[in-house]
């Protein structure tokens, strides 16, 4: 049975995620922006772990309150202990993490912040603000080189991997993607679906790695159409990524 993931909308456009380890019944939340919506979704279950992809307040804002209420352990990037409220267990790519009987891979994907990580378990990847559906997070602490390295690392995940990201930015991301690649048929088809979902305020999450590879411009610096749009036919992948990110910043 695949991992059960419950979406918990937080703040205006954040998603936290509740996950239960099926064999032990341990219960974790990924990136709790705030405590109350998580408490509501728990509906009486006991929270045992809090997982953080990075230190931003809209991802760790509920840590201390949930930890105080449930005694949950906080798991986050070991490189960034000073910025993760209440952190108990620092993890990195070498350590990984064990969620009950389930092995969790940790991917170091610095770009949005210098110590950003993703949690990967049972065919699901929690990518925080480094990889969004059809987009990526702003480069607050990283460089375009780091971003492209992070994207290449994420693209080694199997195509069927379900992608759970930190925000519902999909519609705007898709509009930007179309501005670069208007003839991408997969992108147009996906946008038609996303527009329908958002028209009734339904989530566009999860995505899959296959879908991201086909439609996310930050995974597609090799695309001839994107390169033509940007006037960067001969540039390196990193140069294309850098220009794509620069344009998205002011889109
Ligand atoms: Zn962030
Ligand atoms: Fe965020």
pLDDT at 2 over 90: no
Q: Which pLDDT value is given to residue 1?
A: 64
Active site includes 55? Answer: no
Q: Percentage of the chain with pLDDT > 90?
A: 98
Residue 89 CB neighbours (<10 A): 14
Query: Cβ distance 121 to 162 under 8 Å?
Result: no
Whether the Cβ atoms of residue 35 and residue 69 lie closer than 8 Å to each other: yes
Chain centroid to CA 111: 12
Query: For the chain, how big is the Rg over CA atoms in Å?
Result: 18
- Whether 56 is catalytic is yes
pLDDT at 188 over 90: yes
Amino acid 3: pLDDT: 85
Query: What pLDDT, in 10s, does the model give residues 74-126?
Result: 999 999 999 999 999 999 999 999 999 999 999 999 999 999 999 999 999 99
Rounded to an integer, what distance in angstroms lies between the CA atom of residue 245 and that of residue 213?
17
CA of 47 to the centre of ligand 1 (A): 23
The pTM (predicted TM-score) of the whole model is 0.98
Domain boundaries, the chain: 4-249
- Whether 112 is catalytic: yes
131-156 per-residue burial string, b: 16 or more CB within 10 A, e: under 16: bbbbbbbebeebebebbbbbbeebee
CATH code for the domain defined by 4-249 = 3.60.15.10
34 CA to middle of ligand 1, Å?
14
Report the pLDDT value the prediction gives residue 19, as an integer from 0 to 100: 98
């Amino acid at each position: 049975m695949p991992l059960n993931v419950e979406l918990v909308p937080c703040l205006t456009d954040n998603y936290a995620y509740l996950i239960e380890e099926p064999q032990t019944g341990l219960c974790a939340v990924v990136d709790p922006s705030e405590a109350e919506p998580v408490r509501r979704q728990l509906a009486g279950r006991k929270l045992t772990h809090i997982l953080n992809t990075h230190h931003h307040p809209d991802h760790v804002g509920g840590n201390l309150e949930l930890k105080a209420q449930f005694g949950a352990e906080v798991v986050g990037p070991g490189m960034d202990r000073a910025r993760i409220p209440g952190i108990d267990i620092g993890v990195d790519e070498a350590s990984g993490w064990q969620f009950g009987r389930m092995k969790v891979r940790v991917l170091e994907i610095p770009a949005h912040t210098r110590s950003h990580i993703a949690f990967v378990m049972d065919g699901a990847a929690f990518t925080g603000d480094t990889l969004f559906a059809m987009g990526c997070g702003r480069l607050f602490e990283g460089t375009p080189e780091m971003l492209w390295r992070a994207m290449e690392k994420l693209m080694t995940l199997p195509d069927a991997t379900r992608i759970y990201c930190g925000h519902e930015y999909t519609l705007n991301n898709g509009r930007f993607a179309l501005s670069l690649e208007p003839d991408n048929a997969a992108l147009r088809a996906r946008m038609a679906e996303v527009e329908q979902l958002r028209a009734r305020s339904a989530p566009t999450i999860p995505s899959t790695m296959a879908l991201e590879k086909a439609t996310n411009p930050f995974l597609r610096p090799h695309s001839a159409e994107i390169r033509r749009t940007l006037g960067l036919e001969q540039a390196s992948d990193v140069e294309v990524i850098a220009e794509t990110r620069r344009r998205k910043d002011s889109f």
